[in-house]
Structure 1
Amino acid sequence: MAAKVPAIDRRAIFIGAEAYEKAGVTILRDLIEDHGGWFEDAALLNELVR
């Protein structure tokens, strides 16, 4: 299982949260400390970058 990717990762910034969520995946967010959350599907994120 792939690790979660923080939203500050350059791949996540390049793709953007809106495009990632349009691909059908949600972003895990922390209610207390929100640094943009975590992109849970690293494989999909890598595919979107390609």
Structure 2
Amino acid sequence: MRDIPIAGTKIEKGEPICTVLSSAASEAACLRNLQLKAGWVRRFFEEEEGP
């Protein structure tokens, strides 16, 4: 991941959180890796947000 905000930075709903990078042997595999990583980032922040 890149472009991670400094601690304490206020991020409004819908704004980008970070840049997710990946590489793979094929375009399809790279896209799959990116989707998996993006899902992990989303889940992490959903858990941090709370109810």
Q: TM-score range by the shorter chain?
A: under 0.3
More helix by share: 2
TM-score normalised to structure 1 length: 0.27
Give the TM-score taking structure 2 as reference length. Answer: 0.26
Larger RCO (alpha carbons 8 Å, 6+ apart): 1
Q: Highest Rg: 1 or 2?
A: 2
